[in-house]
Amino acid sequence: MTADAGFSAELRRAVDAEVESALREPSSEGAHRHLMDRVRLLVAAFLWPQAARSGDGALIDSARESVAALRALQGPSGLFVGGDNVDSPPDSAFTVNDLCDTLRLLDTQPHERTAEAEALAAELADIADAVEPALLVGGVHTPNHRWEISAALARLHRRRPAAELTARAAEWLAEGVDITADGIFSERSANYAAYVSNPSLTVIADVFGAQHARDAVIRNLEATLGMIHPDGTVETVHSRRQDQLTRFPLAPYLLMYRRYAIELGRGDFAWAAERALAQGIVHPAAILTELLLDPRLGDELPTAVPPKGGGTWAQSGLVVDADERRRLVVFGGSDYPRFRRVRSGLSTNPTFLRMFADDAVLDSIRLSRDFFGLGPFRADGLRIRDDGGYRLTEEVSASYYQPFTGSALDSEGEYSLTDDGRFFGSMSFPERRRDVVALRTAVSVVPTADGAVIGLDLDGPDCAWALELAFRGGEFDGGDVRADGTVLLGAGAARYRSARGAILVTADAGYRANGEPAYRPGEDYAFLGATDAATGDRLYLTGRSPGRVTLTLRAETATS
């Protein structure tokens, strides 16, 4: 195969810059994962003939200083000290994975076997020997940790085969890979798929011959293709992890898309790999290490074939509806209606729609209600309508409690501290008769050739609501600009313009603003003085329930 000169040149630039940056920083400071990543980078650059510092003994000397600091962070159990996860097998596994790859580089790559390089290898081997027993028995606390720790077991086995390493990894793999039928891992996280699950399952498949692990990676990469947006980000609104409130770039997917594009001859994966490379190499140590261990990764990619955009991921309640003039994201898969709490590991992002119109981006639409502090609308599911549109619904309620009578009374006034669903009180809430106040919300989204028609239907008592539209990439044209820079749509239409695109927002003829244009995150955040509010340029529509409002989104060219 012909080498990919463009990829090699970009990697060389990234590696050389990263090495110089690493040499400027203290060699003995930082957490264990940082120290080992630094060692891997310096060793890989030392061994790679194309690196500017190839063969420079100063890299090995500096790496040994970091290894000494790493060894000092290794506790009596062999696990590494540091971070909020104390005595953590999975956190240590991240470091062990880098350590084992570094050892393999020193063992397999041609280089002058100086006393310093041999000493570095021996020091790393001692650390690996000390940590291995802990990884053979250690537990995890997130879904992706199972694959990270199994990958460490695989690399330890590849270094020094042992039946107990295979058996322990088999115990984790026996649980089955946590991937849905539509190709999304249970955490729904682009971050953890790119950095943990896919790379870990790949090495597990390589070492242990676990075909189902390899198949899961390919399915996830296929599913992710439909979530790659025109701005080069991967959709995260459905995530159950920290990235649900951030934009995640495609760049971290480079290694996986590149490997499987070459291995399977897939043009769609090549398209994704090219787009990822265009964003720059964000972790050159990992890319270079894999290239040295598997030179096929430097081959030319197959001819890129753009995939069909969009898709439906039913288990995540996510739809990406792509057309020539606009791209819609509809989300109705929040975990909040089921668990009624905001917690790490749950999908709670209240954004239910995004829209891309060239470089004009409607990043988020959220519906906020003044209803007992129960927070913004979060749909309990996404239903596809007969007309091709989508329906999102939610019912929230609060209670007023009646007095106890008879034997339920306590003359001392001592009642159980229980959860009302919004707060705790010494009221024995579950045992009381209650009067329930409910608010039912339905949102319809009907895609059009150039946008969407959105209907809001609120049924319940009189309460204020605010629909927030958060944009990026341009500026508003129309609407009432307020002192804080937000825009209130009193009636009619407002336009958001960027350099090449625009999005027109039009309310129905009966709409008139009625209420405060503000987002309220709900008691889950408010009692802590926190918020999950969207950022960017924000437009509000306001009103009161009960009632119905319709608005239309339309993608335009910047000059239309």
At 190, is the secondary structure helix, strand, or coil? helix
The terminus-to-terminus CA distance of the chain in angstroms comes to: 49
| Nearest-angstrom CA–CA distance, 67 and 59 | 12
Q: Evaluate if residue 480 carries a pLDDT over 90.
A: no
Q: What is the pLDDT of residues 37-77, one digit of tens each?
A: 999 999 999 999 999 999 999 999 999 999 999 999 999 99
Q: What is the pLDDT of residues 293-305, one digit of tens each?
A: 999 999 999 999 9
Q: What is the pLDDT of residues 357-389, one digit of tens each?
A: 999 999 999 999 999 999 999 999 999 998 889
Give the confidence band of 426 by pLDDT, cuts at 50, 70, 90. very high
Q: What's the rounded mean pLDDT across residues 198-219?
A: 97
Strand ranges (E), 181-314? 233-234, 248-249, 311-313
Q: Evaluate if residue 332 carries a pLDDT over 90.
A: yes
Backbone Cα Rg of the chain: 27
| Nearest-angstrom CA–CA distance, 451 and 502 | 11
- Contact at 8 Å (CB) between 488 and 482? yes
Listed residue (253, 263, 186) closest to 221, CA to CA: 253
Give the confidence band of 504 by pLDDT, cuts at 50, 70, 90. very high
Q: Evaluate if residue 499 carries a pLDDT over 70.
A: yes
> Which contiguous run of DSSP H or E holds residue 157?
helix 143-159
Burial class (CB in 10 A: 0-12, 13-18, 19+), 415: middle
Q: Which of 150-154, 272-276, 418-422, 432-436 has the lowest mean pLDDT?
A: 418-422
**Cis omega before residue 546 (within 30°)?**
yes
Q: Evaluate if residue 560 carries a pLDDT over 60.
A: no
Q: Evaluate if residue 524 carries a pLDDT over 70.
A: yes
- In this structure, what token pair is assigned to residue 540? 């509000």
At 252, is the secondary structure helix, strand, or coil? helix
Listed residue (85, 86, 83) closest to 34, CA to CA: 83
| Nearest-angstrom CA–CA distance, 354 and 336 | 20
Q: Evaluate if residue 82 carries a pLDDT over 90.
A: no
Q: How much of the chain exceeds pLDDT 70, in percent?
A: 99
Q: What's the rounded mean pLDDT across residues 104-109?
A: 95
| Nearest-angstrom CA–CA distance, 316 and 219 | 15
> What residues have CB less than 8 Å from 244, skipping those under 6 apart?
189, 236, 237, 238, 347, 348, 349
| Nearest-angstrom CA–CA distance, 429 and 401 | 7
Q: What's the rounded mean pLDDT across residues 504-524?
A: 92
Q: What's the rounded mean pLDDT across residues 514-542?
A: 90
Q: Can you give the pLDDT at residue 326?
A: 94
Q: What's the rounded mean pLDDT across residues 127-156?
A: 96
Burial class (CB in 10 A: 0-12, 13-18, 19+), 136: middle
| Nearest-angstrom CA–CA distance, 539 and 17 | 42
Q: What's the rounded mean pLDDT across residues 452-466?
A: 97
Domains with residue ranges and CATH for the chain:
5-298 (1.50.10.10), 317-395+439-557 (2.70.98)
Q: Is the pTM of this model over 0.85?
A: yes
Q: Evaluate if residue 207 carries a pLDDT over 70.
A: yes
Calculate the average pLDDT of the chain. Answer: 95
Give the confidence band of 559 by pLDDT, cuts at 50, 70, 90. low
Q: Which of 130-139, 229-238, 394-403, 471-480 has the lowest mean pLDDT?
A: 471-480
Q: Evaluate if residue 262 carries a pLDDT over 70.
A: yes
Give the confidence band of 558 by pLDDT, cuts at 50, 70, 90. low
Q: What is the pLDDT of residues 272-290, one digit of tens each?
A: 999 999 999 999 999 999 9
